[in-house]
Structure 1
Amino acid sequence: MVTPTSQPIVRTIDVTGTVNPDVSREIPVLSLANGRVVGLHVGLGDNVRKGQLVMEVQSPDVTTAFDAYLKAVNDEHLTSVTLDRDKLLYDKGAIPKSQMEAAQDSEDDARADLTAAQQQLRIYGVDKAHPGDTVKVYAPASGVIIGQNVTNAGAAGITYAGSTGSLTIADLSHVWIIVDVYENDLRDVHLGQHADIHLTAYPGKTFSGTISDIGAQLDPNLRTAKVRIQVSNPNGELRLGMFATGTLMASKPEQATVIPASAILQLHDRSYVFMPTAISGTFKRVQIQTGRPLSNNLVEVTSGLTVGQQVVSNALDLQNTADQE
């Protein structure tokens, strides 16, 4: 006979999910000028470096901006000449001070317009010394192209309706594992909690992660919450969409009732133990609910048995003996 005992165990939660990009490391690639793509130099899934040429856009916006720049240059030149002349005439007493001040205001306005026109060309990425109707678009960061919303000869740029970007670059050196956690397990899930991640593609290998977000809304059908686990991925082994399993460790140990595995009889997917009855030498079979197996050949009992009750130490031997009688 053996007596169930109580011992502290750290509860684990097994979860499943998939590898996703870290949205804080996703960067849209935008052409600030509207137009037609005349050169697309990368595609979905390509690795790119920061500053790499990814796209060329032929844009009427650039033509308009350069025209405005040339007009601003001419206007500023004219107002500058007028101001110099009026200053000279004012010094000789030929014109009133108000006329000279008006010329100064015109020069200030023309210089501001010229600065704005130059800034517009810089925003579009156009060299004012080498004008053209094509905008070159460069990668704003290093990473992998995970989204492509444009093709050669397609339209690109920002409109009043907004744009999600012609391309999307993701830095995959860190990724998210999005897993489902059942409602009754959420009490044991906390921000900053450690998680062990396993992937089918790498059997036997464990990746370490940290819980960075717990969804505030449950799936009404599955009664699960989305939990985000942040995982370092410096070698790019974790690829987007990979299936992952995870083990979350509860933050505090709990007292659990345990018995030796040999005291449990498994019949038709149910678990039983034999307990002595009031009649000496006789036993009754009692159904129990078991938890996870523990070290030292012990098994957690979640219901049907309490500490202090006695059970047969080898349930299978007793069952075999009863079958032979």
Structure 2
Amino acid sequence: MQYDIFNGDADGIISLIQMRLAEPKTAQLVTGVKRDIELVKQVQAMANDELLVLDISLEKNLAAVNVALANGAVITYIDHHRAGELPVSTRFTAHIDTAAETCTALIVDKLLDGKHRDWAIAAAYGDNMVAVADALADERGLPLDDKRFLRELGTLINYNGYGVTIDDLHFAPAELFQMLVQYASPFVLRDDRTSPFYQLQGAYAADMVNVAAQSPYYDDDTLLLYLLPNEAWAKRVSGVLGNVLANQHPQRAIAVVTHNTDKSFTVSLRAPLNNRQGAGDICSQFATGGGRAAAAGINALSVSDLPQLIDTIKAYYQ
């Protein structure tokens, strides 16, 4: 049995698109909302099962990976998040790079020798690696309209991944992957007026109207923080809003904090674009936090811990 296990954001989905365009396989898809990262434990792997794991932290999945390996599974792990200790097994292959200027889709792009680079560029844009994506697009000689399209496509796929449950999303990530992998080139999406691109484009525009009515909760030279209500639109825009604000204010850390039904907060943190490090370390100080150097989050922050989070961010970046 082949299992394709991947993050439900742009980086995870597009990483798998590249892999399956290069090597088509029938697989059981295992994914979820962007913050659903402990995915390997959903698989009851047996001897000779093959697991392809994309864009989820090995550190958060290590116990389940070790169980799968003990059962005789073969695992290929491709990621750019904190990894922790790697398993030692001849049936485990890792391609992990935690550098701030890469993402999983770019790691896959290297493994495939750039075979589907336009898709990789879209993923880099979706992961807010704008300078890296621009450089790759310029190397390809892409005109400005094509660059703008890939940037919007990556942003929209990433936007679709944010929510507490699948019901918050416009497309379930597995469904969106299955739709997008039908397009050998991302530019074909632009030509197909029935494609998911246009559906997500309209939904994103509607959600961003709500954002325009919001004001910062905390705003100084070090940190810009927005506190959003417990609404589906707020959960959907939390990640892309962080990226938009990060690009507008490259000297400041950006936090988008969203009310949850259980009275806790979900936090999306972006390190300053001019200092893309520390976000994962900050969020990991809280019980349900983690991530990578440039971007990280906390799934359930208690209301009483919000002042501590603000102080921690300010102390780190001042």
Identify whether the pair has TM-score above 0.5, normalized to the shorter chain. no
Structure showing greater relative contact order (alpha-carbon pairs closer than 8 Å, 6 or more residues apart): 1
Band the TM-score falls in, shorter-chain normalisation = under 0.3
Report which of the two has the higher share of helix: 2
